Structure 1
Amino acid sequence: MAPAPKPDADADPGDPPVSDPHASALGPADEPEPGAPSSGPAADLAGLAQEFERALLGGRREFTRVQVSERAGISPERAERMWRALGFATVPDDEVAFTADDVEALRLVAALEDDGFIDPAVESSLARKLGQTQSRLASWQSAMFLDFLAHAKLPADEAIEVAGMLLPAMEQLQTYVWRRHLAAAAGRAVAGSDELARGVRAVGFADIVSYTRLTRRLSEAALGELIERFEGLTADVVAQHGGRVIKSIGDEVLFVTDTAAQGAEIALALQDQVAAAGDLPELRIGLAYGGILIRLGDVYGETVNLAARLTSECKPGRVLADRELAAALDGHPAYRVRRLRRVSVRGYHHLTPYALQRGTDH
């Protein structure tokens, strides 16, 4: 076993115990019991855990909430509002819980706002979206790492060392994926048509049929495997045909595309692949085409509502489209739309759905 790394030279033996539940996936090191020896395996493990936490947080905890806001040059109220929006637990005013990286992060937010890049009106919303996205990612990575440890059966000190080595690799991979997505989004914005500039998109919902009944019948492991297959299949098909998954909500995936034809192809390809798999539950898919509000990575507006209502009216294994998407596909040889009887749904008393199918030229 490799020897434990020595503690930082600037480590303060009087640092208070860690109470922030968001500090690390492995949790803070335990304080030694009164009268316990200050050296040996337990002390080595505590030192490793402290080293690992510092690696995650970017340094040791040395500031209170008031001190970190003063150093960042913003009010304590604004700092607290940002902290909560990011999804972190509130800490007492006198608790030393923050690092120099926390100070720098608040300074950066303030600078971006001063430069006009961040609208003060959406500052908290932006922080909330960022916090929610990163929290889900961290939860998944933590569970993945703990599952790895359960199979590897490593001693705790070796596990902490392995985690310390994995951290830079995960950070590098996340930065790479983010940059690729940013480049793709920028490219679409630069090359976009007038319709895209106005936020005109095709919006689709793909919904698992009889999901509530499945949750009662399947074990947790089987249900988790089903959701993983559904989300994986949807993500692959959406990406393959130029769309973007906006979010997954349990049994439902929301996606958008730049054109009506892309939306139609994704919807029909999803139904084809589910049918070919043979062991996946059927899907209902609703599509609508029109203007949407794109805000902080999510989409809103009547087009989104129409797609959702059509999904609820759709029969298993079918695709329903609204009038605008049907009109956009008119004359397209790869697709055929058929007008159906009007329906009354929440918010729309005279909604005309169109059945979407493959055309002769496919």
Structure 2
Amino acid sequence: MTDPEDSSTRAEGVEAGDLDLARLLDRFERTLLGGPRKYARADLGRAVDIDPDEARRMWRALGFATVDDDAVVFTDGDVAALTAAKCLSQNLAIDDELLTAITRMLGHTFSRLAAWQGQLLVELVTSRPELLSSEQAIGQFLEQLLSTIQVIQTYVWRRQLAGYFSRIVSHATGELADAGTSTSVVGFADMSGFTTLTRKASEAALRQVLEAFESTATDIVGAHNGRIVKTIGDEVLFVAEEPADGALIALELQHAAAQDDRLPPLRIGLAAGPIVNRLGDVYGSTVNIASRLTSLCRPGWVLVDRVMAESLREDARFVLRPRRPESVRGYHHLRQWRLRRAEESHPTAHRGGRARRRSG
């Protein structure tokens, strides 16, 4: 369903010399939104045979701003999307609560994706002066680029979905309907001192730091059979199926950060146990414990919980050192162990001056 911002409202801020750009924006709006804006809310309801209040709930769940009932902002693309949602509800017996949850998740996910892609598209176009001199050239370029991105997005989505079902089947101990609960390692990796960095560094420098952090995390988590659940500013939440994989991810992240001058030191907390998977996110006490351990970490450290410590105790690749239990929110006696590689006879071994400064 389309964004509610009215094209006529946007056009008010376009100067006379920008008319070609205005026509270009209108052209791409029609392409992206499935045609011109020609329906008000009541028209949309009649076209799909759906209650206007239900359409309004879905619109809000997608994260779009509220529009007046008589505003002509909807397109044939909105009709197709609402028809598909109606099919989910009626033909596939998906109840209203789950449908709203699915809609909200899609809105949240694609809002962030569109913001990132929009910024990238602007940078691509403005860096190529030859495109800006021709409405036809920029139009063809963007249409081809967007079509290609759509193909790749669909491919990645299907691949990720196939991987999800593969993990469920390979570890299934009961009915697939219970797949929302599993046993996993949960890890939080947090950039220490990032708040201070945001006050001192330029926007370009911050983008470089975040890009370095996200790309490093993506590579390392994927290399050790893990999965990034989400990135929240200066923090990455990841999961792994085996304790050893989670431990290797954490230690490799610390090593990579110590070697990269763009990155501040990391604080990483790991916990193992049951988690609840819902709509792409993870919940439960295991997630909470990993978060609390991260808050207790010194920069450059990895802390693990009791379950992780017991699982790794006999693994010769790792060394565990118990720490004094701490009282944190929700846990009055949280036990913790510092995790290191076995070859690290000293916390600063093989790390160089920069790493020694971090270890404290």
What is the TM-score when the length of structure 2 is the normalising length? 0.85
Distance 2:277 2:152 in 1: 26
- Tell me, yes or no, if structure 1 residue 191 matches structure 2 residue 175: no
Tell me the SS of whatever aligns to 1:352: strand
Preserved CA contact (<8 Å) 2:212 2:262? no
Distance 2:297 2:21 in 1: 57
Distance 1:62 1:156 in 2: 29
Q: Deviations over 1:114-140 (max 9, x none)?
A: 244634223222211111111111111
Preserved CA contact (<8 Å) 1:45 1:156? no
- Tell me, yes or no, if structure 1 residue 255 matches structure 2 residue 234: no
After TM superposition, the structure 1 stretch with the greater mean CA deviation from structure 2, 83-92 or 270-279, is: 270-279
- Tell me, yes or no, if structure 1 residue 21 matches structure 2 residue 11: no
1:174-253 pair list within 5 angstroms: 174-194=153-173, 197=179, 198-253=181-236
| Larger helix share, 1 or 2 | 2
Distance 1:321 1:170 in 2: 39
Distance 1:31 1:304 in 2: 47
Aligned to 1:60: 36
Evaluate the alpha carbon distance shift between residue 283 and residue 200 of structure 1 in structure 2; reply closer, same or farther with a 3 A threshold.
same
Tell me the SS of whatever aligns to 1:340: strand
Evaluate the alpha carbon distance shift between residue 210 and residue 46 of structure 1 in structure 2; reply closer, same or farther with a 3 A threshold.
closer
Aligned to 1:159: 138
Evaluate the alpha carbon distance shift between residue 228 and residue 32 of structure 1 in structure 2; reply closer, same or farther with a 3 A threshold.
closer
RMSD (Å), alpha carbons: 2.7
Name structure 2 gaps, 5 residues minimum.
345-360
- Which one-letter code corresponds to 1:262 in the other structure? D
Tell me the SS of whatever aligns to 1:344: strand
Preserved CA contact (<8 Å) 1:202 1:259? yes
Name structure 1 gaps, 5 residues minimum.
1-17
Evaluate the alpha carbon distance shift between residue 298 and residue 177 of structure 1 in structure 2; reply closer, same or farther with a 3 A threshold.
same
Report the Cα offset of residue 70 of structure 1.
Answer: 2.4
Tell me the SS of whatever aligns to 2:149: helix
Distance 1:273 1:255 in 2: 16
What is the TM-score when the length of structure 1 is the normalising length? 0.85
Report the Cα offset of residue 46 of structure 1.
Answer: 5.1
Which one of 90, 108, 120 corresponds to residue 144 of structure 1? 120
Tell me the SS of whatever aligns to 1:88: coil
Distance 1:87 1:207 in 2: 28
After TM superposition, the structure 1 stretch with the greater mean CA deviation from structure 2, 156-165 or 344-353, is: 156-165
Aligned to 2:147: 168
Distance 2:144 2:300 in 1: 46
Report the Cα offset of residue 45 of structure 1.
Answer: 5.8
- Which one-letter code corresponds to 2:313 in the other structure? D
Preserved CA contact (<8 Å) 1:49 1:160? no
Tell me the SS of whatever aligns to 1:292: strand
Preserved CA contact (<8 Å) 2:3 2:64? no
Preserved CA contact (<8 Å) 1:22 1:89? no
Distance 1:214 1:46 in 2: 39
Distance 1:219 1:284 in 2: 23
Q: Identity percentage over the alignment?
A: 46
